[in-house]
Each structure stands twice: as structure tokens, then as C-alpha cells.
Chain A
Amino acid sequence: MSGIKRYLLRKTIIYILTFFFAVTIDFIIPRAMPGDPIAVLLSRFATLPEAAKYLHSYFMQAFGLNKPLWEQYLSFWNAVLHGDLGVSIYYYPKPVAEILKEALPYDIALLFPALVASWFVGNWLGALAGKNRKLDTYLMPVFYFLQASPYFWLAILLSYVFTFKLGWFPISGAYSYGIIPSLSWEFIKDYLYHWILPFLSLFMVQLGGWAIGMRNMIIYEIEADYVRYLEALGASEKTLMKHAFKNAMLPQVTGLAIQLGLLVAGNVTVQIVFSYPGIGYVLMQGIMNQDYFLIQGAFLVIILTVLVANFVIDLLYALIDPRVRTSYTEEGT
């Protein structure tokens, strides 16, 4: 088998196992935890006897509580694979899958640009700081501070400055109340106007991390023997940096997979600050209202998104790292 194939096969096995693990967790936790979530859920419908009755039969069916555990587990899998994530209590009677399907595009439209933009700008600034000592003394503390900030706190700070003090941007929602989502120029403008602050919150914290990573790598590479050798050959600084940058790049691509988890978590909290209607906001509603189906569904969708993104990053890595192409003997990174 060729290097790339083996590498991707191994990764895919890990991802399939991860998904399996995530679904199992989703199944086990409500059953293993103290208390009776279903009783809690039903008690919330005490004023709506019709809904409570319907839900009771729904739970009996969905959880199959009178059946043996393994049978419950199999039917749980069956439901998940058919995209059936239950019915939301808070948004009753809307199915959880539908709610999440409506929310997900807002997340992707925030996460993807934030990740890509922060990666490019962060690496560029980090490389600048890495080769220029004077710049480094000023930039490094800023990078660290950004990386150390909780995402949602930076969101609070930005909204305080740009909304309360300056009044430049709106504080909540993904678009104005009066506007109906469509592909008109008016809507896009309004959407971007609401998008900018949540985007900046994610972008700035991530930027700090990438810049620090690149800075350290560049400092490390500049001292490497091959760079010294090039220097001795009289190569220009531009050539030196080009080679150092190329080598420093690889860990930054691997880092994408690790940062992704943090970014997704940050995204959840940032959306709460801006009441931005993505999965994070929906999840918060689920938590505040003890809407367990919604929480569990959001958990699965978040994991699935991260798995897909990880796979894309792996493909990318296989393309840019020649070592993967030629041989893949060591365990994956």
C-alpha cells in the first residue's frame, strides 16, 4: 500500500472509532448519571398534559426503557444513523436534527473563515516576530495575551468597545429583526455587519496561538545546521527565511487539528455573548432549559463536524509533507 493510503486508512479507523465512542457516550451518560432525566423532562410539561402524554410514549419508544440494555443500544444507533436525534423540549415540537441543521451554517460561516484567516495572518506575524528581535519584544506579549484570553471574554471586550462605546456594530443576532434571510445584497450587508464581531473574537484568540507557534519554530529553524550552511554559502536573507518558513510550516498544519477543538469550544461561548443563532447558542438554550435531546444532539453534531474537519486537515497534510508520500511507517501524528 502506498504511504498516503496507509496514512489515511489509519486516520479513518481512528475517526470511525471516535464516532463510535461519541455515540456510545451519548447513550451511556444519560443512563449512568444520578437522577432521572426523563422524570425531570416530563415534570416540565406538567401544565401541558397533552404534550406530556405524547412525550411519555415517545420516551418509551425512543429509550425503549422496558427492553434490555443492548436492544436499547442498537435502536439508539439505528436512530442516530437515520438522523433522528429526538424532539426538543425547549423548541417543542421541533425535531432536534432540524434545529441543528438550521444552526450549523451559521457556525461554519464563522469557524471556517476564522480558522483560515487566523492561520495565515498568525503565521505571517509570527514569522515576522521570529526573525526580528526588536519587533518580537513588542509582539510576543500581545500574542500571549490574545492566546490566554477566554474567547467569550474577548467577545465581551470587543462588544463593550465597538458596541457600547463606539456604537459601530450591533450586539446580538445574525441579522436585523426586520430582514428576512435571502440572497439579496441588503441581507448580505446586514449579515456581515452582525458577523464581524463574533468573527473577530474567534480570529484574534486563534491568531495569538498561531503567531506564537510560528515564532518559536522560526527561531528554532534559524539556528538549524542547514540554515547556517546556506548562510555560509552566502544566500540572501530572503532565501534563508524561505527555507526556514517551509520547515516551520508543517507543525502548524498538524496544529490545525488540535486548535480546532479549542476553536469549536470557543465558538460555543462567543455565540452566547452575541446571541448568535449557531449551535453554541442552541446548546446554551438546551443547557438552561435542561433540554437533554438538544444537548446530546449538539454534542454529536459538534463531534461529527470536528471529525470531518480533521479528515480534511489530514488530506492537506498528506499533500504537503513529502515524508507521508514516500513512506508511512511511524505512527500518525
Chain B
Amino acid sequence: MSMRETFRIALKNPKFKIGITIVFIMALIALVGPLLTPFDNMGYYPIKFGNTTFSKPTTPSLPPMSKDVVYGPEGIVNVTHYLGTDSFGRDIYAQLTYGMRSSFLVGITAGGLATILGLLIGFIAGYKGGWTDEILMMITNIMLVIPTMALLIIIAAYLPYRGVAIESIIIGLTAWPWTARAVRAQTLSLKNREFVHLARLSGLSDFKIIFTQIMPNIISYVFMVFILQFGGAILAAVGLDFIGLGPTKGMSLGIMLQQAVLWNAITLGYWWWAIPPGLVIAILITGLYFINTGLDEVFNPRLRRE
């Protein structure tokens, strides 16, 4: 099945449609959302004095849809806090939408890195076989047993400065094992097929055979793997941020949740601070699962319930 044909069939699948719609809406909010608020990514109101910008907090602990005023050099500005403010007078909506942007970024880079690593290791182990396979699978199995989060914690704890890029890289470097094992199994089942033998006889290099003969056959599978890695990376990042090992500067959904818990948002009843950051993640990842189930049904007719 070509990619385009697959997509056409998938669009008839209701689960796939629901999933795509959810993810699309979330991506739109992440992309456009920050443009609709005057506040910066930390939720402060930026006030310009010549060349320098000052971050000004507004009224703390306002519930959603509160009107507020900011006193700037140009006079009084009327603002609306769509999702209220936190205990420090920072706009929640701005933090949330900018945070979603960074979540998508982590998902794409870390998920992409993990997918690529998993593919490479799986292909090489499966195609080469022998000792290469033994050693690569030994490493994979060891990495599988160690909880990824524990490994992330120990690495991140020793980094004095952490940005979103570094966070993505360490998540990507630890999330590949299950993908490698699954890809290896797929490669094993493909490498003895006639077209692969033929390619080998015609003198193609191993590298070329893997990428021109084997990979196209599992491209749809690769796509599903990426979706799961994308979601997994977002969850890993939010967990890491929550325990205080996320980016040392800036804001993210996990950091919002951490601050909400540390500053007693729950006992104070500030639900607009503590609930939305996790809710958008749960909804986004539910959407990803729907896409995957939909695709699974497309590729695997036995799962269709007709």
C-alpha cells in the first residue's frame, strides 16, 4: 500500500478521523494560541522602556475570564485573563499555550530521535544477524529493563543547565529500545524474501538494501511507531519537568503543574492553574492513541469490527 492510498483508506476510519481532528486542534492551539494574548511565555505582561523589556506580573489568583488592568508607560491597558492567573499574577492561558508549543517541539524532536535510533538499531540487528545482533539486542534488553524515567533523572540531575533541546536529546536517547526490538522482528521477517535476495545478488550495499528494499515495506509501521514515540516523549518530558528536572529557564506544562502543586493550588481551589496543563496533554495523547488504533484497523483487517 502506498502512503497516499493508506491515508485515503484511513480517512474513512472513524477512530482515525477523531484522532486526527483532536491532534489537529491541539496543534492549532499551540501554533495560534500564543498570538492571541499580550502576555509572554511566562505569563508576565511585557512592558517596553526603550530597548529593555520588563516582565510585569498582574493581579494574582484571578479565576478564568477575569478582566484586569495593567499600568504601563502608555497608560492603562485593559486585559482579559482567559484562564485566570496563578499565585504570582501570571496569565495561565499564555503559559498554557506557549507550554503546548514546547510540548509539541519535544514530542517531535525527542520522538523523532527515538524513532530514528530504534529504526537504525533494529534494522542493523535484524539484517546483519550473528554477533552484531546478539550485542545490539543485549544492549536493547538491558535498556528495556531500566525504567526510562530513572535513567532520565540520573542524567538530568547532573546537568547544571538544561534547555528544551537537551531535554529532547536525553529523552530520545533513552526511548528507542522497544522500537528497536519491534523493527528487528519486522526486518527478520522481511530479509529472506525474494526481492531482498534479488537486491543482494544485484550487488546493492547493505545500507541501500535496508533503505530501499526493507524500509518502504514497513513505512506505515514506522509512522505508527513515531506517533507512539511522539506521545511517549511528551509524557516523559512532562514528568521530568514536574519533578524539577526540566528546562532550567522558561515555562512548560510540567513546570506549571509542579508550581501549582508546590504552591498549594489544590488546597486553595485554583483549579484553573492545576487542571488545564495536564488536561491538554491527556486529550492530545488520547488523540494520538485514536490515530494509532485507526491505522491498526486499516492495516490489520482482523481488528475491524464490521
A residues whose Cβ falls under 8 Å from a Cβ of B: 14-15, 17-18, 21-22, 25-26, 29-30, 33-35, 37, 133, 136, 141, 144-145, 147-154, 156-157, 159-160, 163-164, 171, 212, 216, 219-220, 223, 257-258, 260-262, 264-266, 268-269, 272-273, 283-284, 286-288, 292, 295-296, 299, 302-303, 306-307, 310, 331-332
Contact = CB atoms under 8 A, between A and B. Distances in A.
A295 to B, nearest CB: 5
Contact of A295 (B154, B238, B277): B154
A268 B286 contact: no
A265 B282 contact: no
Interface in B227-276: 231, 235, 238-239, 242-245, 257, 260-261, 266-267, 269, 271, 274-275
Given A15-B145, A133-B305, A299 B154 contact: yes
B239 A150 contact: yes
A264 B147 contact: yes
Contact of B286 (A144, A150, A152, A272): A144
A14 B147 contact: no
Given A150-B238, A219-B303, A302-B150, 19 more contacts: A14-B141, A21-B142, A21-B146, A29-B154, A30-B158, A33-B160, A34-B160, A37-B158, A156-B275, A160-B274, A171-B266, A216-B303, A220-B303, A261-B147, A265-B239, A287-B244, A295-B154, A306-B146, A331-B137
Nearest to B264: A171
19 contacts: A18-B146, A21-B142, A25-B151, A25-B154, A147-B289, A152-B257, A153-B281, A159-B266, A160-B274, A163-B266, A164-B267, A171-B266, A265-B148, A287-B244, A296-B154, A299-B154, A302-B147, A302-B150, A303-B150
A157 B151 CA distance: 27
Q: Which 8 A-B pairs have the closest CB atoms?
A: A153-B278, A265-B149, A148-B285, A261-B147, A33-B158, A149-B282, A148-B286, A35-B160
A130 B58 CA distance: 52
Contacts of A145: 282-283, 286
Interface in B153-202: 153-155, 157-160, 178
Interface string B4-45: 000000000000000000000000000000000000000000
Given A148-B285, A171-B267, A265-B149, A220 B302 contact: yes
A63 to B, nearest CB: 14
Contact of A284 (B158, B244, B267): B244
A165 B118 CA distance: 45
B192 to A, nearest CB: 16
Q: A-side binding surface: helix, strand, loop or mixed?
A: helix
Contacts of A332: 141
B149 A141 contact: no
Given A258-B178, A296-B154, A264 B149 contact: yes
B226 interface: no
Contacts of B235: 150
B145 A153 contact: no
Contacts of B279: 153
Contacts of A266: 239
Contacts of A283: 153, 243
B132 to A, nearest CB: 14
A287 B157 contact: yes
Contact of B159 (A34, A264, A331): A34
Given A15-B145, A264-B149, A268-B149, A148 B289 contact: yes
B243 A268 contact: yes
Contact of B145 (A30, A295, A306): A306
B104 interface: no
B3 to A, nearest CB: 24
Nearest to B151: A25
B277 to A, nearest CB: 8
Nearest to B292: A144
B290 interface: yes
A288 B244 contact: yes
B138 interface: yes
Contact of B153 (A160, A287, A310): A287
Nearest to A205: B282
Given A17-B138, A171-B266, A288-B244, A157 B278 contact: yes
